[in-house]
Amino acid sequence: MSTILEKISAIESEMARTQKNKATSAHLGLLKAKLAKLRRELISPKGGGGGTGEAGFEVAKTGDARVGFVGFPSVGKSTLLSNLAGVYSEVAAYEFTTLTTVPGCIKYKGAKIQLLDLPGIIEGAKDGKGRGRQVIAVARTCNLIFMVLDCLKPLGHKKLLEHELEGFGIRLNKKPPNIYYKRKDKGGINLNSMVPQSELDTDLVKTILSEYKIHNADITLRYDATSDDLIDVIEGNRIYIPCIYLLNKIDQISIEELDVIYKIPHCVPISAHHHWNFDDLLELMWEYLRLQRIYTKPKGQLPDYNSPVVLHNEHTSIEDFCNKLHRSIAKEFKYALVWGSSVKHQPQKVGIDHVLNDEDVVQIVKKV
């Protein structure tokens, strides 16, 4: 492991020494590709040997979505979990009070959301310091990350945490690169770009691909991409997670400073101790999780508005709704009656491919 870390630090120092210009872009691209390969080995080591005997932090997934609290030690993650979910997570005035994952669950707008209080991350966590790799591995399984920051400490901490998570293949508040990439058996590298490229050209793409021992591939760049974007697409193990930055301890700063903080994107100032601004936080959490509530209506009865079926924004067809209830329903499905904003008539008879909107009411009719 230390040899990989040594190689990584050697490449990083070489990249820091190299000037950025047209002549060195191919060399920098090659170094970035080497760095990405070494980082992947850190995430999932090659040898299939026995385990190290360290217990992981993984917690069974429950509820409709999962939110992880990430941050340096002593920024108020445990206090926030205790006050949001009513779960006791040990709180003390020293660092590293939380040593394992503490789960909690809240019900918001009818959806059950699991909250995970993860142990504090320190600088160098992506390289395995302070059991950071297990912590970040759990963060990879979350639907949303709450990055808890202390507003009295410098905002440089935000950059450090982002750097740790990015080194582990997590991309925060980003969309997957719009690059088409397909390996083939013969025909060489075929590069098409739909818009003028400021960084990538055929030589640089070939240099990066040769580092991965790929000599035949089709690549289409649909926007002005960087070499990092291309490496992310080739690696294929990147996870794109929305993130909300929580600036905690606002009870210790002035109103003028608070006004400045409010202008930072993806950011919510809170005070976990005094329960300040939790409404804003939960509303933004709901917006970033992109969940939709669908109410069920048994035949001849009123709709059940207390326990909605919660679907993710990208999977909201009637088929997804049926599968969420029970796998056998989709096979016996005949048609559905829908009330709500996704149909023109109230009710309307729809098929299994109909896409539902938030707070629609559905009644399913099965084949006899």
Same domain flag for 335 and 306: yes
Same domain flag for 255 and 127: yes
Q: Residues 7, 9, 12, 13: is their CA dihedral positive or negative?
A: negative
Predicted confidence (pLDDT) per residue in 18-60, tens digit? 888 877 888 888 888 888 888 777 666 555 444 444 455 667 7
Same domain flag for 154 and 28: no
Same domain flag for 273 and 129: yes
Asked if residue 227 belongs to a domain, the reply is yes
pLDDT value, residue 90: 67
- CATH code: domain of residue 319: 3.10.20.30
CA separation for the pair 295, 313 (Å, rounded):
15
Same domain flag for 198 and 226: yes
pLDDT value, residue 50: 45
pLDDT value, residue 126: 57
* Burial of residue 13, with CB atoms counted within 10 A of its CB: 0-12 exposed, 13-18 middle, 19 or more buried: exposed
Enter the pTM of the model: 0.77
Helix count and strand count (H, E) for the chain: 11, 16
> In the chain, which residues have pLDDT < 70?
1-2, 42-58, 89-98, 122-132, 154
Token representation of residue 258? 């608070």
Same domain flag for 204 and 324: no
Same domain flag for 149 and 252: yes
Q: Which domain holds residue 78?
A: 65-173+239-288
Same domain flag for 116 and 154: yes
Same domain flag for 159 and 264: yes
Same domain flag for 168 and 264: yes
pLDDT value, residue 344: 92
Q: Looking at 199, 218, 235, which one is the last position of a domain?
A: 235
Same domain flag for 39 and 111: no
Predicted confidence (pLDDT) per residue in 4-15, tens digit? 778 888 888 888
Asked if residue 75 belongs to a domain, the reply is yes
Asked if residue 53 belongs to a domain, the reply is no
pLDDT value, residue 150: 82
Instruction: Supply the angle between the helices 156-166 and 132-139 in degrees, to the nearest 10.
Output: 80
